[in-house]
């Protein structure tokens, strides 16, 4: 159920959970001061309690208040990428951020979203935790209707412009250098000019505790079985997740991510298309992985690999 800004702020301040559009994906919001609402988020998402939440605020001043220390270049990263699709994991003053949010770590993740309505809301409520508004493991929501599919028509959703980027934020942590622990809507090369180096993506190794606990879990997956391929022959009949500027064999039906020459649009369509497979009760689909691994297409490839990995 779409609700206006004032009602959303009121519900959140009263300790309820509200879905909120952001420029990356929709979030399920709760006030950082409302433990019952935070517990409710873990429950309705089916999220393991050892997977911490991102704290969203409307200003860098608030982040400085929570942070214990600021690693080198934090100010520059903040002024360049916030408000926006960057999340920084920072050491925090533990007494200020509850252990349920941090999953008992000594750090917390922070982001200042750029979505106009989200920022307005944050000014009325103060800091909000916001995991992506999907049941755990499923594709994230980029439209209010996706939130309804996962949580029901009665679930309160702040009305506003749908998510424009369609990929979650890029998460960085400082270990001697800044490293990417979750690929996202900002490509790694976009940090090069600010940092003087390109932060590497630390892919979690098998059997090793990942730096980003969420990377442990299966993600972004529709019910449909996805089979990743790089070339098509007449044998590949059925459904294809692919691109509008390419040709596929006859006897196939294309679920188009859009034209590969426009990577932002392709990424913005990803979760909508994965959800459409389920809406159409499709059991299996081929995925065209024949695209360059550059810029945010690297994130696209990683999301598709995760979605296919059951």
Give the residues lining the site for Mg ion (CB under 5 A).
132
Strands of 238-242's sheet, edge to edge?
Answer: 225-229, 284-288, 238-242, 252-256
**Closest separation in Å from C-beta 237 to ligand TXA:** 35
CB 255 within 8 A of CB 276: yes
Piece of 20-28, 35-43, 70-78, 245-253 that binds ligand TXA (CB under 6 A): 20-28
Which residues between 221 and 280 bind ligand TXA (CB under 6 A)?
none
Name the DSSP letter for residue 133.
Answer: S
Residue 74 binding target from ligand TXA, Mg ion, none, CB below 5 to 8 Å by type: none
Residue 19 is a binding residue for ligand TXA (CB under 6 A): no
Structure tokens at 217: 């879990």
Q: Considering the rule CB under 6 A, would residue 107 count as an interface residue with ligand TXA?
A: yes
CB of 45 or CB of 255, closer to ligand TXA: 45
Q: Which of residues 41-80 bind ligand TXA (CB under 6 A)?
A: 51-54
Question: Which residue, among 261, 271, 272, has the nearest Cα to 294 in the 3D structure?
Answer: 261
Q: How far apart are CA 307 and CA 310, in angstroms?
A: 7
Distances (CA, A) of 119 to 29, 49, 127, 217, 286: 13, 27, 10, 29, 39
Residue 170 is a binding residue for ligand TXA (CB under 6 A): no
Q: Which residue has the closest beta carbon to ligand TXA?
A: 214
Please, which residue, 187 or 260, has the CB nearer to ligand TXA?
Answer: 187
Is residue 308 at the binding interface for ligand TXA, with CB under 6 A as the rule?
Answer: no
Is residue 105 within the footprint of ligand TXA (CB under 6 A)? yes
Q: Tell me: does residue 127 bind ligand TXA (CB under 6 A).
A: no
Residues in the chain: 310
Q: How far is Cα 183 from Cα 199, in angstroms, rounded to an integer?
A: 11
Compute the least distance from the CB of residue 51 to ligand TXA, in Å.
Answer: 5
Q: Which is nearer to Mg ion, 28 or 308 (CB)?
A: 28
Largest CA-CA distance found in the chain, in angstroms, rounded: 61
Alpha-carbon span 119 to 62, nearest angstrom:
13
Place of tokens 């959303």: 8
The interface partner of residue 89, options being Mg ion, ligand TXA, none and the CB cut-off 5 to 8 Å by kind, is: ligand TXA
One residue of 30, 67, 130, 241 binding ligand TXA per CB under 6 A: 130
**SS3 sequence of 78-118:** HHHHCCCCEEEEEEECHHHCCHHHHCCCCEEEEECCCCHHH
Site size toward ligand TXA, by CB under 6 A = 27
Angle (CA) 192-195-198 rounded to 5° is 40
In the complex, least distance from residue 140 CB atom to Mg ion, rounded to whole angstroms: 6
Q: Between 150 and 169, how does the x/- string for binding to ligand TXA read (CB under 6 A)?
A: ------------------xx
15 binds ligand TXA, rule: CB under 6 A: no
Q: Which residue ranges make up the site for ligand TXA (CB under 6 A)? A: 22, 24-25, 27, 51-54, 87, 89, 102, 105, 107-109, 111, 130-132, 168-169, 171, 182, 211-214
């Amino acid at each position: 159920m779409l609700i206006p800004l004032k009602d959303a702020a009121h519900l959140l301040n009263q300790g309820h959970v509200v879905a909120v559009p952001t420029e990356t994906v929709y979030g399920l919001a709760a006030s950082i001061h409302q433990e019952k609402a935070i517990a409710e988020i873990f429950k309705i998402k089916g999220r393991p309690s050892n997977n911490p939440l991102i704290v969203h605020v409307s200003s860098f001043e608030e982040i400085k208040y929570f942070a214990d220390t600021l690693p080198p270049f934090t100010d520059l990263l903040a002024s360049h990428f916030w408000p926006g699709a960057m999340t920084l994991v920072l050491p925090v003053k533990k007494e200020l951020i509850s252990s349920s949010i941090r999953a008992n770590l000594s750090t917390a993740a922070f982001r200042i979203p750029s979505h106009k309505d989200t920022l307005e809301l944050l000014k009325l409520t103060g800091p909000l935790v916001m995991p992506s508004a999907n049941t755990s493991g499923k594709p994230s929501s980029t439209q209010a209707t996706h939130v309804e599919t996962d949580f029901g028509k009665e679930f309160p959703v702040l009305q506003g412009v749908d998510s424009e980027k369609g990929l979650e934020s890029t998460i960085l942590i400082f270990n001697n250098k800044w490293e990417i622990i979750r690929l996202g809507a900002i490509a790694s090369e976009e940090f090069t000019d600010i940092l003087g180096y390109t932060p590497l993506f630390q892919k979690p190794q098998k059997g090793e505790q990942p730096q980003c606990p969420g990377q442990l879990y299966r993600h972004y997956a529709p019910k449909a079985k996805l089979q990743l391929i790089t070339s098509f022959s007449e044998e590949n009949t059925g459904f294809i997740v692919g691109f509008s500027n390419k040709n596929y064999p006859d006897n196939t039906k294309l679920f188009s991510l859009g034209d590969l020459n426009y990577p932002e649009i392709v990424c913005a369509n990803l979760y909508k298309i994965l959800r459409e497979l389920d809406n159409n009760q499709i059991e299996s689909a081929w995925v065209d992985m024949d695209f360059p691994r550059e810029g945010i297409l690297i994130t696209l490839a990683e999301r598709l690999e995760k979605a296919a990995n059951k």
